[in-house]
Structure 1
Amino acid sequence: MIVGVAAAAALVAPGAPAAARSATPPAAPAAAPFHAEVRHATVGGERIAWYERGSGPPLLLAIGTGSTMAEWDPALLALLARDRRLILFDYPGLGRSSRRPPGARTSFAGLADTAAGLLREIGIESADVLGWSMGGFVAQQLAIRHPARVRRLALAGTNPGGDRAVLGPPADQRIDSDPDPSDAAVLRVLYPRTRTGQAEGRAFLARLERASEAGTIPDDFAVPAATVRSQVAAEDPWLRSNANARALRRLRLPVLVTAGRADPVTPPLNARRIARLIPGARLALLPGAHAFLFGERVRFTRLLDRFLGAP
């Protein structure tokens, strides 16, 4: 209901001073725009770059192969940060984290240990965790190796490893593993190959550019080819061993498994298999390709909010 001027005047106490009856209440100060402040924590002798956004229960975000913390969709981050403290970080060897010596090997167990060490160094005992794509490998290992650090686990577009993993077509796998893919190639796997889907992909790239210029995400896109090759090489032992899949059966924490119904990189059958492995896991398939959580960000955020619970 809109209150008119006369009615609003009647709301002021009769005995109040005339100035109080006539003064216009001062407008609330506008909130300062968010600016990403990159910090560093030393974990296992390496400097790990990270930043946070929002306030509330902590939510750690682990991103995929060859990507920095700046490559999450800014529109999704804005939704997630309304009620949560987002913790975003760069894996060792890329972005603003320290470089690794030549020939350094990557393992998802090691990256999970780095994530656990980061939480410890910044004073977070336990956090909710969202892992997307390769970040899902890291998140699974984090929950397995450091269960006390993970309150609830959300997985997006990932696989369980071993003979239960299902890979997409080789051409799409090559795009996902390419150290320097073209924007057009990236959009072919991240978004549906329809006019609408590719337009949404181009809008995502435009959001990244605007957010970087405005400072709401770090200008943090340095990805050395050697680091990408090391991350890709770590997938070979991941796919040859069933150790991760066996360990998933022992998890005793709430888990949400999500996937895009048209994901060409990580087909949704992977999500079904992960959900069957983890006792009590919830499963949700959404429209979209590998970046379904960006394209369906409103629906994904609602789903995640229901799973994580009200702050």
Structure 2
Amino acid sequence: MSLLGMIGTSLGLFGLAHGLTHLRAERHERRAEAAFPPEGQFLTVQGHRIHAVVLGAGPDLVLIHGASGNTRDFTHDLAHQLAARYRVIVFDRPGLGYSDPVNRRGATIWQQAEILAEAAMQLGAQRPVVLGQSYGGAVALAWAVYCPANIAALVLLSAASQIWDGGLDRYYRTLSHPILGPLAAPYLTAFVPEARVTRELESIFTPQHPPKGYNHHIGAGLTLRRASLRANALQRANLKQEIRAQVPHYPQISVPVEILHGDADTIVGLHIHSEPLTRQIPNAHLTTLPGIGHTPQHNAKPQVMAAIDRATTRAGLQQPD
């Protein structure tokens, strides 16, 4: 066989393997969506479908999840507890869960904040208290900076807010690459077992553990979908430069701000992020959580709920019963 013939055969075999991988990935995605369907309702914002879960009654409270997440991170428990005193709105961020991506480059934290603020207004929440965790905290900060008329108070949990040392790891470099990313994502969807994703999710809780029933509720297969992998990686790859542009605007934030951060958080460091942020935002209040890792929404719920109540009171909203 000639060299050209060998190349042609190899390309044909690769194309066949890649096509079969996409079919397997599609089957896995359908199975994940059947097992973990949308929990709420859909809104159309700037031509994009946004998934929202609305619970309870009282002052409006928006919850924004972190990287690789979806509404289920909050609806496992915290959102239902808060719904006794608040009208809770939990969004899937653009490109994740059941919300559409807004572009092929990765929605910026500013674009996400603008879209979620408009979605909240469609639901009648003109000036909600906004809570963001981890990457979602960066989006919540962007909401306070760029949509100041549409926010009453800000609550940040383990929020990414500052520039940090180090670059992007190989996983995100690959999945965010314009050529390698679309090639690699189907293989992860098709062949990475959900148990592996569950183990990775569990590592986020260190030194604590996921609460009972969390692994069965969160829907790891939703995170493994091709579009979700790609959207998450692009957002993560762009985050550092977006935060660099956002930091100078923090002193302009005038709404009440409550910041909570565990001193055992090894993913988003307290000393790197929340301590400087407390000095940058006028009248921001920091609560340090001894021994708590990256997930206070699960492992420090009483402190989180108390911070939300403080923010609500400081904003002059209706006092929760």
Q: Normalising by the residue count of structure 2, what TM-score does the alignment of the two structures yield?
A: 0.71
Identify the residue that residue 130 of structure 1 maps to in structure 2. 131
Identify the residue that residue 297 of structure 2 maps to in structure 1. 293
Identify the residue that residue 216 of structure 2 maps to in structure 1. 209
Instruction: Quote how far apart the aligned CAs of 1:185 are.
Output: 2.7
Identify the residue that residue 14 of structure 2 maps to in structure 1. none
Instruction: Quote how far apart the aligned CAs of 1:272 are.
Output: 0.8
Identify the residue that residue 74 of structure 1 maps to in structure 2. 76
Match of 2:198 among 183, 199, 213: 183
Describe the superposition over 1:4-29 as per-residue Cα deviations: whole angstroms up to 9, x where unpaired. Answer: xxxxxxxxxxxxxxxxxxxxxxxxxx
Identify the residue that residue 147 of structure 1 maps to in structure 2. 148
CA distance in 2, matches of 1:73, 1:286: 22
Identify the residue that residue 104 of structure 1 maps to in structure 2. 105
CA distance in 2, matches of 1:190, 1:226: 23
Which letter maps to 2:46?
A: G
| 2:142 counterpart SS class | helix
**Larger proportion of helix:** 2
Percent sequence identity is: 25
CA contact 1:76–1:294 (8 Å) conserved in 2 = yes
CA contact 1:191–1:290 (8 Å) conserved in 2 = yes
Instruction: Quote how far apart the aligned CAs of 1:250 are.
Output: 1.1
In the alignment, structure 1 residue 57 sits paired with structure 2 residue 64: no
CA contact 1:167–1:267 (8 Å) conserved in 2 = no
Equivalenced residue count is: 255
| 1:41 counterpart SS class | strand
Q: Normalising by the residue count of structure 1, what TM-score does the alignment of the two structures yield?
A: 0.73
CA distance in 1, matches of 2:70, 2:312: 25
CA contact 2:53–2:89 (8 Å) conserved in 1 = yes
Residues 254 and 301 (structure 1 numbering): CA distance in 2 closer, same or farther, change over 3 Å?
same
| 2:156 counterpart SS class | strand
Instruction: Quote how far apart the aligned CAs of 1:120 are.
Output: 2.1
Extract unaligned runs of 5+ from structure 2: 1-37, 177-184, 314-318
Instruction: Quote how far apart the aligned CAs of 1:38 are.
Output: 1.5
Residues 273 and 211 (structure 1 numbering): CA distance in 2 closer, same or farther, change over 3 Å?
closer
Instruction: Quote how far apart the aligned CAs of 1:79 are.
Output: 2.1
| 1:60 counterpart SS class | strand
CA contact 1:249–1:279 (8 Å) conserved in 2 = yes
Structure with higher Rg: it is 1
Instruction: Quote how far apart the aligned CAs of 1:299 are.
Output: 2.7
Identify the residue that residue 161 of structure 2 maps to in structure 1. 160
CA distance in 1, matches of 2:114, 2:82: 25
CA distance in 2, matches of 1:301, 1:94: 25
Extract unaligned runs of 5+ from structure 1: 1-35, 213-218
Instruction: Quote how far apart the aligned CAs of 1:137 are.
Output: 0.7
Off by >3 Å, runs of 4+ in structure 1: 165-174, 177-181, 219-223
Which letter maps to 1:129?
A: V
CA contact 1:66–1:227 (8 Å) conserved in 2 = no
Mapping of residues 1-311 of structure 1, within 5 Å: 38-72=40-74, 74-99=76-101, 103-162=104-163, 165=164, 182-192=197-207, 197-198=208-209, 201=210, 203-204=211-212, 206-207=213-214, 209=216, 223=225, 224-239=228-243, 241=244, 243-269=245-271, 270-287=273-290, 288-309=292-313, 310-311=319-320
Root-mean-square deviation over aligned CA pairs: 3.0
CA distance in 2, matches of 1:167, 1:279: 29
